[in-house]
Structure formats: C-alpha cells, structure tokens
Amino acid sequence: MTNNWLDMQHSKVFLIEGSNAAENHVMSMKWIRKAQEKGAIIIHVDPRYNRTSAIADIYACIRPGADIAFLGAMINYILQNKLYDEAYVKLHTNALMLASQEFGFEDGVFSGFDEATHHYEMASWSYQTGADKKPKKAHSLDDPHCVFAQLKKHYSRYTMEMASQITGMSSEMIKKIADTMVNNKPGTILYALGMTQHTVGVQNIRCYGILQLLLGNIGKPGGGVNALRGEPNVQGSSDMAVLSGYMPGYLNYPAHNEPTLKEWTKNNGTFRAKFMVNNLKAWFGDQATPENDFGYGWLPKRSLKANHTVYGFFESAAKGDLKMLYVIGQNPMVSNANLSMTFDGLAGLEMLVVHELWETETAAFWKRPGTDPKSIKTEVILLPACYFMEKEGSLTNSGRMVQWRYKALNGPGESRGDLEILDAVFRKVRDLYKDSTDPKDQAMKAAVWNYPKEGMAEAVLKEINGFDLKTGLPVNGIADLQPDGSTSCGCWIYAGCYKGGKNLSKRRDNKTDPGGMGVYPGFAWCWPGNMHVLYNRASCDEKGQPFDPAHKLVWWDAELKKWAGFDTPDVPVATDGPDTPNGQRAFRMTGEGVGRLIAASYKDFDPKEKDKELPRDASYTPKDGPLPEFYEPVESPTENALHPNRKSSPVLKYPRVKGKQPIGKVADFPYVLMTSSIAEHWLSGSVTRNVPWLNELAPEPLIEIPLKLAAKLNLKTGDMAKVSSARGDVTVKVEVTRRMQTLQINGKEVTVVWMPYNWGFQGLSTGVSTNYITIDAVDPVAGTQETKACLVNVVPAEGGHHA
C-alpha cells in the first residue's frame, strides 16, 4: 500500500476493483464505512456481485480479464476532456519529458519486439536525453513528442464503445465511474488478487498508477494505490526477499551476467549498491571487505534463462531436476493452479520437507484419493510447527506497519517454532562442511550465524535493522547507512525499526495523533522511517506547501528550514528545500524523481560520481511493455477487439511443458470461470477447514451460475454439476444466483461462473479442489497464474438432479 488502513477515512471516493474487501479484508470496512458516513462514494467493479458490492454506491459488472479496457477508457476520457490535475501532472510526473523518437506501438506490439524469443529490446522505450544524460523536457503538455502526448495517442484507441464491447460494461457506466473519480478527490484505489491473477496482472496495476497520477491522488491522505494483501505477513516476507528475484528491500537479486559488485551496480546504480554492501556486511561481517567485494562473489547467481519461480519448481521436479523441496506453511497441493502439474512435481522429488501445524494435502500428497502410495518414491519429513501465538516475532501488515507479537503459550507436543527449526537445520548443514575448503561451501562458512537460543527473534530483528560497526550500536535509520562497510543492515528499508536500541515494533501509543490524521506515529513502526503515506511530498506544490491546506500531512517549514509534518516527510534529505533538486523529487525511488506515466527505460547518472560508468539509480520497466495494453486471457471466449492479430500478451510463453498445459477452446469450454476465497475459508483452507464452526458455516465447495445458464442446463440450487476444463473436471453442488451474469461481449453472449478454491482431501472438511481445472499460464513479469479467467464447461452431473 502507498497509504494505510486508517488513512482510508480521508478518501472521498473508493474504486474497489479486483477485491472483495468486505469478505476478505473485513476490517478495512471499519475505515471505508467511516468515510462513507462522511459522504464518500464507494465504487465496486467486479464480475461477481458480492458483499462488497452490497455496500457500494455504484456497482459495475465487468468480464474477468477485461480491466485494462475499462481503465484505459477512463484514462482516455480524462485525457481527452482535460480532466487531469494539470499542476500535479506537470510537477510530479514525467509527462513533460521527451520520449524517444524510436518509441512506437503498432497492431498490439510495442517497438523493439523480437517475435522469435517473445522478448522486447527496451532501448526505444527511453527518453531523448541531453548532454547531462538527463531527459529533455518539453515546455507544454501539447508538445507532440512528450510522454503525455504518447500517453494520449496510446489510449485514444480506448473509446467508450470499444471498452464497452470488451468489458460488457455500458459506456454510461464507465463515464459515470470516471466522472465520480474526477469530481471527488482525494480518491483511493483498492485491489487484491482479482487484479493480479491474470497474465496482464502487472499492467493492470500500472493502469492504477497512471490513473492516480493523472488525478493527482498519489502521496495525499485519502489517495494512493492500495494493495489489500492476502496473507498476514506477505508484506514482510516480500520485504525480506523470500522471492528468487530479490535481495532484502527489493534489491534485484544478482544474476549470472553480474559476476562482480561493479557489474551489478552498472545495472542497479550506486544508490542501491550502498544497501547491497550493508546487506553483505550483515551476512558476512568481518569477512566482507572492500577487497573481496564484501563477499558478493559468494552469493549464488540467478540464471536469466531458468525459471526460479514457484511454477518453475514443480515443472523442474516433474522432470527430475529439482530433488529436494522444503515447504514452510504453504499448501501448493490446494492453492497452485493446474494441480495435476503440482502433483507430478511432488511425486518427482527425492525429498519433501514440510513445517506445518497440520497434515496438509501437500505433506500427504502421496495419500491423495486414487493414488497408490507404493508408486510414490518421495521421502517426506513433516515437522510440527508452532502457531503464531506460540512464538514471538514481528509481522508487517499491508500498510507496512511492523508490529510485535508476544509468545502467549507453548505449542502442543513436541512442536517447535520455525525460527528454531531453521537455525538448527542451517547449523547442522554447516557442521557437515566444517572441514571443507571447497569454494562452493565458503558462503556458509564465512557467514555470521550465531543467534542466541533465548531472544533469537529480537537478535535477528536487530540484524535486520543494522549496526554502526564502529560503535556496535543499532543504526537509527536509512540515512545512517554507509557505502564503505562501516555499517551493516539486513534489510535497508527496515533501518530504524530498532532506533535508539529499542524494538519500536512493540510501541503501543494509541493516543498521540498529531493533526488528527490517523497517523499514530508512536504505535508500532512503519517502514521506511516510520512513514505512513508514501510519496507524501507529492501532496505539496512546487514551494513545498500542501495543495489542500485543510488536509495537510507534510510541508516545507521555511522558518525551521526543514521538511516537517504529521507524518515522516518522503524526501531524500529533510533539510533540502523545494528550491533544490532533492526538494522536488517527490518520487525519489525512481531514477527521474517523478511519477512515471510511461515506465521508460532510464538510468540516472550523478555528475558527481567518480566512476562515470556507474549510474546513481535505474528505473524499473516491466518487460511486457512501458504502458498497459489490453490483451485477452490465454483462455478467452472472444477475439481481441483492439488487435485481432495479437490476442494475448506477446511476451507470454504458454504452454511451458508440452502435454501438461493444454489450452481450451471456446467451442468445447464455452463459459468463463473465476475463482476466489470466501469469508469463512481462507486460501488453501489448511487452518479454516480445521475449525469446526467455520466448516458449519461453509461446508463444501460449489459453483455459482447465473439464472440464464441454470435455465438452459435445467439446473437448480442443490443439484450436482460437472465442471470441466482442458485440464480436468470436478463435480460440485450448484448454486443458482443473480450474483453471476451473462454479458454481451463483442456482440455475443458470454456467461461467467464462479467457484471458491479452498478445499482439498485433508482436514475436517474435505472437498474437491477447484485448482484441478484452473490454468497455470502466468504473468510474464510477476509469475502469477491466471486463476481469475479460464474456460470451462458445465453440465448436470449424473444422478445429481433432484428426483
């Protein structure tokens, strides 16, 4: 989230698209309803009318996977009718920067595309630059070469009529939503997996960024782009880089073409290299020196050709390449798409290790009904883990708030906390290598790893916060971190969580709220630097004064000559005023220092840098395009109306494994299936399906179908239906409902059906897993599967009719 839960009370309009917040993030409603009581308008865009729709002021039904057509039409409408916030756009975005003259887009493809490799060369997605290597700027938004003009041109194809045809929404509804967003500011956008589980997931969210920048809604209280994240600590686990592509704090993970720290810095910049050095100091201590590149060479390097992501694991295991999988509190045998592939992967392993509370479907995959355990050669070790209240440690919520949890009781039997287990396993492996001089074993031997048994979690949190290595004291914030190895920090964005030697995640001051803005700076701690609204410098004008003085959050205090506010100001240096370049960098984490309408390919060079080869920072560009473009889901019931020759994303690779990843055709599978969780069961259900009263509330999987389809198939609520896709079939109970709709898409009827995916063959409540039929085509950038849109057929199951 750019903002946070409490901040939602300041919003005047909510666009909730791709989230059923009322069921899946229930407590968000405390703050959303507070705003609604004050007159805020709630817009809910979703293929399914759910409990969030029920409290919305405006509900719009959209076809799954058609979001970019809808959002593109809103962007076009705002641009064509000059409804954008011109002062904000000129000051805080790259609108005026001159795009490269090589940049282009034709028939569904951006410039630089190589058809043979499905790969874009990004050079033409850059700027026209001056002698200082900085982007040249136009004087007016009317300049035909500026980014703003390119944006206008790109979205001019997204007319209301076109969007209506693709999405199934009426032109009037799209216009109504756009006008509501324009006329009610600040406005916020909330999303969840409904937007990310697509093969265009990253570009879906890029639309939000563009829209909010045009409306001037980023950095302001009540504004922002807010991901309602789906797991208790998925924010923290991402921050800590439990992802193959990152080091902690979203530093790009070193690749095999970056053998030295200098090569890595050429691609990532000196600004981030400083944090990499601090990370390496945290891991290798005294063994990390400037002479040995701070131990950079010890890190394994990721391949740019191999698939190091979760779907790659199971494909690799099924081939026999991945031998050992170690799973901690995840249940892929229910939650992965295309479960047959996941099963083949588990069966292809030599050893599976699982830390769990329960005997999950993953741990017990060899017991799957219909499987002969004798045929499964995988060795399985299942370790009893402690629940969150049976151990201590911190977690980070969606608003980046890091809070401490105390141990309340011991876990049952011989269960142990994951921290203790990980520590023991690592030490045990390291012991096996104690006499090794092999270079491959030196990383673990050089590492600092001597955590105390008592207070281990706090010792680790201190390492994450970092130390001044001269004094041995914890650093107080990011500004303390040095590039020369004199400080360490395990995750640079958490620097300061142990400020003054105190664990700030334990703070509980729920009374002090300067300005009454709901910031509560003394309650727990937010990364970075206890900042609650990211990019908050953008809530101020050129002179550093709030655009809206009635809802001010931060400002330049000319008397004190520093940035001040109710929240930590998001500026590079607190004393660099608006008359300095730093004081105008409202989006300091981009190379350009401004919000990026086009995600241009750009490296920022610092003229003061001694080594002219090294950029200060490098901006991020998604590999599937600098601007969001609408592409149909891999399994789609219709053609791409914008460019019939380019139906799905050109950089997409699917199937990845021949014969295991079939693509269904609309002639065989005429309906669109979307899946999600429900209020009573959570994700794979490993916890909730072991809670008896939740099982009573929601006892079994089902399919919701619209009235029209029910009439056609002669199905009634309570009947059984067989739901099949190109990957398999499941038989479940039918619920006939007005929630789901039959839409008019490109002149034809398209029916959308829905299923929850929370069941499996283990636990107190068992049921078929919907993910046997979902598709594991993934977003080319994020690697997230397209579980929100695939094609299925529905037929009455034999003997399933009421007598």
Partner 1 sequence: MSMNRRQWFKVAAGMGAGLALADLGVNVQQVHAATRGMKLNGTAEYTSACNFCSCGCGMICHVKDGKLINLEGDPDHIINQGSLCSKGAAMAAVPNSPQRLKKPMYRAPGSSDWKEISWDDAYDRIARKMKDTREKTWKATEMDGDKQLVANRTDAIAFLGAAQNTNEECYLITKATRLLGTVNVEHQARL
Among positions 130, 144, 290, 412, the unique one binding partner 1 when judged by CB under 8 A: 412
Among residues 152 and 462, whose Cβ is nearest to partner 1? 462
Minimum distance from residue 108 beta carbon to partner 1 (Å):
27
- Measured from the Cβ of residue 659, the count of other Cβ atoms closer than 10 Å reads 6
Q: Does 657 bind partner 1 (CB under 8 A)?
A: no
Among positions 234, 573, 589, 720, the unique one binding partner 1 when judged by CB under 8 A: 234
Q: Does 46 bind partner 1 (CB under 8 A)?
A: no
Instruction: Encode 679-698: b = buried (16+ Cβ within 10 Å), e = exposed.
Output: ebbbbbbbbbbbbeebbeeb
Q: Does 256 bind partner 1 (CB under 8 A)?
A: yes
Which 331-360 positions form the footprint of partner 1 (CB under 8 A)?
332, 335-336, 350-351, 353, 356-359
Q: Which two tokens stand for residue 349?
A: 């392993």
- The answer to whether residues 366 and 376 touch, using CB atoms and an 8 Å cutoff, is yes
Minimum distance from residue 11 beta carbon to partner 1 (Å):
16
What does residue 6 show for φ and ψ, rounded to 5 degrees? -65, -30
Among positions 3, 24, 268, 751, the unique one binding partner 1 when judged by CB under 8 A: 24
Residue 518 CA to residue 39 CA, distance in Å, equals: 18
Q: Does 325 bind partner 1 (CB under 8 A)?
A: yes
In which residue are the tokens 């300041």 written?
Answer: 10
Among positions 236, 615, 637, 760, the unique one binding partner 1 when judged by CB under 8 A: 236
Torsion of CA 17, 23, 27, 33, to 10 degrees: 60
What does residue 273 show for φ and ψ, rounded to 5 degrees? -60, -35
Site string for partner 1, 588-627 (x = CB under 8 A): ----------------------------------------
Minimum distance from residue 282 beta carbon to partner 1 (Å):
8
Return the range that interacts with partner 1 (CB under 8 A); candidates 26-34, 110-118, 181-189, 542-550.
Answer: 26-34
Return the range that interacts with partner 1 (CB under 8 A); candidates 246-254, 584-592, 593-601, 628-636.
Answer: 246-254
- Residue-by-residue DSSP string for 217-240: -TTSTT-SEEE--SSTTHHHHHHT
- The answer to whether residues 101 and 147 touch, using CB atoms and an 8 Å cutoff, is no
Among residues 411 and 800, whose Cβ is nearest to partner 1? 411
Which 748-777 positions form the footprint of partner 1 (CB under 8 A)?
763-764
Minimum distance from residue 537 beta carbon to partner 1 (Å):
24
Return the range that interacts with partner 1 (CB under 8 A); candidates 45-53, 148-156, 605-613, 678-686.
Answer: 678-686
Minimum distance from residue 730 beta carbon to partner 1 (Å):
19
Among positions 106, 172, 379, 639, the unique one binding partner 1 when judged by CB under 8 A: 379
Q: How many chain residues bind partner 1 (CB under 8 A)?
A: 164
Q: Does 460 bind partner 1 (CB under 8 A)?
A: yes
Return the range that interacts with partner 1 (CB under 8 A); candidates 107-115, 173-181, 321-329, 613-621.
Answer: 321-329
Q: Does 456 bind partner 1 (CB under 8 A)?
A: yes
Minimum distance from residue 195 beta carbon to partner 1 (Å):
14
Q: Does 229 bind partner 1 (CB under 8 A)?
A: yes
Q: Does 720 bind partner 1 (CB under 8 A)?
A: no
Nearest to 197 by CA among 772, 624, 633: 633
Long-range contacts of 452-461 (CB under 8 A, 24+ apart): 453/420, 456/419, 456/420, 456/423, 457/391, 457/392, 457/393, 457/394, 457/419, 458/392, 458/503, 460/419, 460/490, 461/393, 461/394, 461/497, 461/498, 461/503, 461/505
Q: Does 467 bind partner 1 (CB under 8 A)?
A: no
Q: Does 309 bind partner 1 (CB under 8 A)?
A: yes
Q: Does 425 bind partner 1 (CB under 8 A)?
A: yes
- Residue-by-residue DSSP string for 634-679: SS-SS--SS-TT--S-TT----SSTTTS----TTT--EEEEEE--S
Minimum distance from residue 685 beta carbon to partner 1 (Å):
11
- The answer to whether residues 419 and 460 touch, using CB atoms and an 8 Å cutoff, is yes
Using left for φ > 0, alpha for ψ between -120 and 50, and beta otherwise, residue 630 falls in beta
- Residue-by-residue DSSP string for 146-200: BHHHHHHHHHTT--HHHHHHHHS--HHHHHHHHHHHHHS-SEEEEE-HHHHSSTT
Site string for partner 1, 185-224 (x = CB under 8 A): ------------x---------------------------
